[in-house]
Amino acid sequence: MILKKRKKLLESLQNDFRVLVIGAGGLGCELLKDLALSGFGLIHVIDMDTIDVSNLNRQFLFRIQDVGKPKAEVAAARVMQRVKGVTVVPHFCRIEEKDVSFYQDFQIIVLGLDSIEARSYINSVVCGFLVYEEDGSPDMTTIKPLVDGGTEGFRGHARVIYPGLTPCFHCSLWLFPPQVTFPLCTLAETPRSPAHCIEYAHLIQWGQERQGETFDADNPEHMKWIYDQALKRGAQFNISGITYSLTQGVVKNIVPAIASTNAIVAATCALEILKIATMFSTGMDVYMQYTGTEGIYMRTVPHDKDPNCTMCSAGVPVDVDNTITLQKFIDQLLKDSRFKLKLSKPSVSYHGTNLYMQAPPVLEEMTRPNLQLPLLGLMDGNTSGVLNINDRRLTGVLRVRVTFKEGPDSVDMDTVGGV
Amino acid sequence: MAQRNNKYDRQLRIWGEHGQTALERARVCVLNCGPTGSEALKNLVLGGIGSFTIVDASEVSVSDLGNNYLVDWESMGQSKAKSVCALLQELNESVVAKFVEESPEALLKSNPTFFAQFTLVIATQMTETHLLKLEEICRQHNVMLVIARSYGLAGLVRISVREHVIIESKPDNRVEDLRLHIPWPELQSYVDEFDIDTPDNNIHKHIPFAILLIKIAEDWKKAHGGKLPANVRLFKEAITARRRVVEEEDNYTEALKSAYIMLFPPGISSQLRAVLEDKAAEVEASSSDFWIMVAALKQFMANEGQGEPPLDGAIPDMHSFTDYYIKLQKIYQARAEADVTAVEGYVARILKRIGRDSSPIPRSTIKLFCKNSRNLRVLRCKMLSDEYSSRSGSELQRLLAAEESRFFFEQFLCSHPALYILLRAVDHFAATYNRFPGAFDGEIEEDVSRLKSLAVGLLNDMGGGGASLPEDVVSEVCRFGASEIHCVASIVGGIASQECIKLLTRQFTPIQGTLIYNAMSATSLVLNV
């Protein structure tokens, strides 16, 4: 693209901006092309998958000879071959294998992912970089924009997330429809559809009859076994319509996908990235929905972030007695139903200072005395403030906004003072 | 063959084998292979169209290398059509790839019948006058036409076909065709076998919700002089009253969720009504299979159908014992088959009447038609020549006025009608000044006022005088300098290719009107001018 009179801007795009593309599949291939042809000079791409024949109807950077090779590596090589001046660095690994500092290196991260779990993970990493000022507003220098795209058949979405300003992925989890699961009694006792027979073979029979063997959906022998068992069950219950294609679809949760929708959504994401990098135009407000089944429909939906989001907010509000000790505070957190399943052995820090660390042993020993101290004192006497909670069960940091209140109990002699 | 099915697996799941076959028979022509045309074609090649021909006289230049993925450095100075053709071939060996090194405008003049060989023509980056000529030729030879234009941060896509009939429109808001309010004899007999107040709790919670709803409605009618409940709330209360153990009775939960169908069955949509009342349904010898089936459908609905189209035959999953459900399913399937047979009879009689009994319509086609009969659609596109000479500017005027009071309209409506006018105005500008506005930096301010007066004049000619064009949009369009930006081209080409797929597979519903895309707001709006 020739940007008139903006040679400096182009140079900046080429040399100063580092963009990370997560996923080198349907959206990823399009994103790499779009970003390269928009002038970005340094792009990283990460994907743990290898190329499959069924990718070839849309993942245009791959050829039949590439089947079996890592997507990230083949994609990077093809784009660099076609577009001079761009460097694409591939990473053939899982997103969890990268240290959090890897992600911090990029100005913008764009997602071409196909699972809620993967999106959640990156969302929590990026929200973890967010630091809030005392007044509850985000420190702008810690905001790392995240652009997220998704497609399914003729539908798709694109959105821009500025953690701390616009809704993060977690704030808007309700946008994703619930996953379909069948009740156990239906699968085991009253199957009615081909899918019921298939899932019975997949989720129940496999475990019973092929003990010790992990089911691998990409293993044709495993898939054929499921199909054969499903057919038998179908015959037993007089259910017809079980095909190999349906079996694959149900077991692998296959999402139909075509080139055109991916092209539209990816380019929409790339334009937003270009807007963030160069501010040449207003950005989308804030979430774009695309449907192509009846006419073409592309509209944006503004919405606000959840002020109590556990990932990106200034902190989940927790009221505490103003005499509470750090130990009792941790106990209170563990009993709080909002954090059920999220916490097991929480570590607590305040403005970068470790108040109590569960690990490693050296830090644990050093911070253990703080457990008996009043929290109010540990928070410099501020009647409210944000604590960062870390825990093995959490993928990122959990922010908790503590407000001290006059307790109904009399003052505990053990904990008085410390202010 | 196995590899072909593997390769296309993710799309076969959308449009099926018959849809894919339709794509593989398509002969597509693309005019101009800048990024817009190349991107549209890329998506179609990946999807497996039969063949394509690119028409473009230009050579690969440095600026192409910066915005078109389907050209490479090795082709610098050579035919762009040749380069794009070769690189597209790499994406799918099954597609037949050709190119013609001529400008579309010249070809329109020198050899208009060239276009007759194609199923569909995609015209990209062409101006009004040439599009009018092209449309005439396409209409004459019954070739489908898709128009796509990328212009800076805006875009336009429009279809021009005389008539496009759709059996499989597959709308998103399909309602289940359960006919609970009018159970036919076989269904009623099966319902009569059930005692929904059975003392056996296990049976009680495994009776399919369709049976529950019919029974409970029956009981209500007996107690209320043959009338159905006055509203859904009352009906739901009657259902809840028969429920025993709330947590365990999924069939009752399903019954409550679907209770409204009893009082508000799907009915005949206005779109179906329009198809039934269409003049083309008065068939004669040259009528297409579609219209013959519509004529048969009308007769069916007037007789056995009793005002309803053929039964779909598919039912949703219902929490119940396997054999209750399978039996119920078979009753629906049998009825649907019987309806198909009835329609088949009408088809045969109509074919005979119009003198076509030697070429019957296959039962499989009639079956597909019957199953989708509630959602038939017919598209007839207004000709560009009518649109350009239309005096219906009042629609545009209304939309433009709405822009000004942004309180009342959502932001996404912002500027689409203005862009529509301006995209037409830039072609008038080019015709007058032999260049596009904003081509020379030094003259931008003058170009803005020139463009504005052309646009206002256009709006007046269309009868929309008095409405004002937002100043900022006019200057933005000037700043665009008629550039073809890769990302915008990818989106506009992407939309165009998706429309092509809908037209070629005859599934889903294409755009009806002119689509304006705004990259600044990431929104689109279809205007019916």
Say which DSSP state B412 is in: G
Give the residues across from A132 on adjacent strands: A138
| Residue A326, domain member (yes or no) | yes
Q: Are B428 and B458 in contact (CB under 8 A)?
A: yes
* Predicted pLDDT of residue A106: 96
Closest C-alpha to B278, from B367, B163, B383? B163
Q: Tell me which of B442 and A45 has the higher pLDDT.
A: A45
- Do A7 and A80 lie in a common domain? yes
| Residue B423, domain member (yes or no) | yes
Q: Alpha-carbon distance A323 to A321, whole Å?
A: 5
Q: Tell me which of B31 and A312 has the higher pLDDT.
A: B31
| Residue A99, domain member (yes or no) | yes
Q: Is B9 on the interface with A (CB under 8 A)?
A: yes
A60 contacts B326? CB cut-off 8 A: no
Q: What is the mean pLDDT of chain B?
A: 93
Q: Alpha-carbon distance A267 to B489, whole Å?
A: 9
Say which DSSP state B177 is in: -
Three-state DSSP state, A88: strand
B39 contacts A296? CB cut-off 8 A: no
Torsion sign over Cα A349, A352, A357, A363: negative
Sheet with A18-22: strands ordered across:
A87-91, A42-46, A18-22, A108-111, A146-152, A155-161, A287-291, A297-301
Residue A197 annotated among the catalytic residues of the structure: no
Say which DSSP state A350 is in: E
Closest C-alpha to B149, from B491, B529, B414? B491
Q: Tell me which of B436 and A340 has the higher pLDDT.
A: B436
Say which DSSP state A54 is in: G
DSSP string, B76-94: TTSBHHHHHHHHHHTT-TT
| Residue A414, domain member (yes or no) | no
For residue A183, list chain B residues with Cβ-Cβ distance below 8 A: 250
Give the residues across from A21 on adjacent strands: A45, A110
Give the closest of A239, A274, A288 to B326, CB-based. A239
Domain boundary, last residue among B225, B244, B263: B263
A237 contacts B169? CB cut-off 8 A: no
Domain boundary, last residue among B239, B263, B287: B263
* Predicted pLDDT of residue A393: 86
Question: Percentage of chain B with pLDDT > 90?
Answer: 85
Q: Is B172 on the interface with A (CB under 8 A)?
A: yes
CA-based angle A391:A396:A397, to the nearest 5? 70
Per-residue confidence band for B404, with pLDDT thresholds at 50, 70 and 90: low
Domain that includes residue A348, residue range: 316-405
- Do B135 and B217 lie in a common domain? no
Closest C-alpha to B22, from B364, B505, B509? B505
Q: ipTM for the complex?
A: 0.95
- Do A26 and A154 lie in a common domain? yes
Say how many residues make up chain B. 529
Cα dihedral A360, A363, A366, A371, rounded to 10, equals: -80
Say which DSSP state A180 is in: P
Q: Alpha-carbon distance B397 to B458, whole Å?
A: 12
- Do B301 and B397 lie in a common domain? no
CA-based angle A235:A240:A243, to the nearest 5? 100
- Do B21 and B160 lie in a common domain? yes
* Predicted pLDDT of residue B414: 52
Three-state DSSP state, B307: coil
| Residue A311, domain member (yes or no) | no
Task: State both tokens at A135.
Answer: 């007044």
What amino acid is encoded at A262 in this protein?
N
The domain spanning residue B71 has which CATH number?
Answer: 3.40.50.720
* Predicted pLDDT of residue A6: 64
- Do B462 and B492 lie in a common domain? no
- Do A82 and A161 lie in a common domain? yes
| Omega before A286 within 30 of 0, i.e. cis | yes
- Interior/surface letters A324-348, b for 16+ CB within 10 angstroms, e for the rest: bbbebbbebbeeeeebeebbeebbb
CA A385 vs CA A323, A333, B378: distances in Å: 15, 16, 63
- Do B425 and B469 lie in a common domain? yes
- Do B204 and B142 lie in a common domain? no
Domain that includes residue B299, residue range: 270-379
Domain boundary, last residue among B263, B285, B301: B263
The domain spanning residue A282 has which CATH number?
Answer: 3.40.50.720
* Predicted pLDDT of residue A416: 40
Q: Alpha-carbon distance A387 to A399, whole Å?
A: 6
* Predicted pLDDT of residue A412: 41
| Residue B178, domain member (yes or no) | no
- Do A243 and A227 lie in a common domain? yes
Beta strands at A347-350 and A87-91: parallel, antiparallel or unpaired: unpaired
Q: Alpha-carbon distance A11 to B351, whole Å?
A: 70
- Do A270 and A401 lie in a common domain? no
- Do A126 and A234 lie in a common domain? no
Give the closest of A37, A54, A272 to B486, CB-based. A37
DSSP string, A197-254: HHHIIIIIIHHHHSTTPPP-TT-HHHHHHHHHHHHHHHHHHT-----HHHHHHHHHT-
Domain boundary, last residue among A231, A252, A273: A252
How does pLDDT run across B353-377, given as a tens digit for each residue?
999 978 899 999 999 999 999 999 9
Q: Alpha-carbon distance B390 to B371, whole Å?
A: 39
Q: Alpha-carbon distance A404 to A322, whole Å?
A: 5
Q: Alpha-carbon distance B115 to B112, whole Å?
A: 6
- Do B437 and B300 lie in a common domain? no
What's the total number of domains in chain A? Answer: 3
Could you say which residues of chain A have pLDDT below 70?
A: 1-6, 351-352, 407-419
- Do A28 and A127 lie in a common domain? yes
Q: Are A12 and A57 in contact (CB under 8 A)?
A: no
Q: Are B485 and B495 in contact (CB under 8 A)?
A: no
- Do A94 and A145 lie in a common domain? yes
| Residue B416, domain member (yes or no) | yes
Per-residue confidence band for B412, with pLDDT thresholds at 50, 70 and 90: very low
| Residue A306, domain member (yes or no) | no
Nearest-10 crossing angle of helices B232-241, B250-258: 170
Question: For the purposes of burial, counting CB atoms within 10 Å of the CB of B70, is it exposed (0-12), middle (13-18) or buried (19 or more)?
Answer: buried
| Residue B171, domain member (yes or no) | no
| Residue B174, domain member (yes or no) | no
What's the mean pLDDT in B422-451? 93
Phi, psi torsion values for A158, nearest 5 degrees: -145, 140
How does pLDDT run across B480-496, given as a tens digit for each residue?
999 999 999 999 999 99
**Set A93, A127, A168, A185: catalytic member:** A185
- Do B134 and B211 lie in a common domain? no
- Do B294 and B355 lie in a common domain? yes
* Predicted pLDDT of residue B408: 39
| Residue B180, domain member (yes or no) | no
| Residue A121, domain member (yes or no) | yes
- Do A137 and A215 lie in a common domain? no
Q: Nearest residue on chain B to A255, judged by CA atoms?
A: B10
In Å, how far is A363's CA from the nearest CA of chain B? 49
In Å, how far is B519's CA from the nearest CA of chain A? 8
For residue A32, list chain B residues with Cβ-Cβ distance below 8 A: none
Q: Nearest residue on chain A to B10, judged by CA atoms?
A: A256
- Do B246 and B158 lie in a common domain? no
| Residue B384, domain member (yes or no) | no
- Do A47 and A130 lie in a common domain? yes
Torsion sign over Cα A9, A14, A19, A24: positive
- Do B372 and B425 lie in a common domain? no
- Do A60 and A170 lie in a common domain? yes
H-only helix segments in A22-155: 26-37, 71-82, 100-104, 116-128
Say how many residues make up chain A. 419
Closest C-alpha to A398, from A306, A316, A304? A316
Cβ contacts below 8 Å, chain A against chain B, sum to 207
* Predicted pLDDT of residue A16: 86
Question: Which residues fall within 8 angstroms of residue B409, CB to CB, at 6 or more apart?
Answer: B402, B403
- Do B217 and B295 lie in a common domain? no
The domain spanning residue A243 has which CATH number?
Answer: 1.10.10.520
In Å, how far is B46's CA from the nearest CA of chain A? 5
What's the total number of domains in chain B? Answer: 4
| Residue B70, domain member (yes or no) | yes
Question: For the purposes of burial, counting CB atoms within 10 Å of the CB of B497, is it exposed (0-12), middle (13-18) or buried (19 or more)?
Answer: buried
Q: Are B52 and B43 in contact (CB under 8 A)?
A: no
Per-residue confidence band for B402, with pLDDT thresholds at 50, 70 and 90: low
| Residue A190, domain member (yes or no) | yes
Q: Alpha-carbon distance B49 to A265, whole Å?
A: 22
Q: Is A240 on the interface with B (CB under 8 A)?
A: no
| Residue A50, domain member (yes or no) | yes
- Do A401 and A293 lie in a common domain? no
Task: State both tokens at B311.
Answer: 């039964």
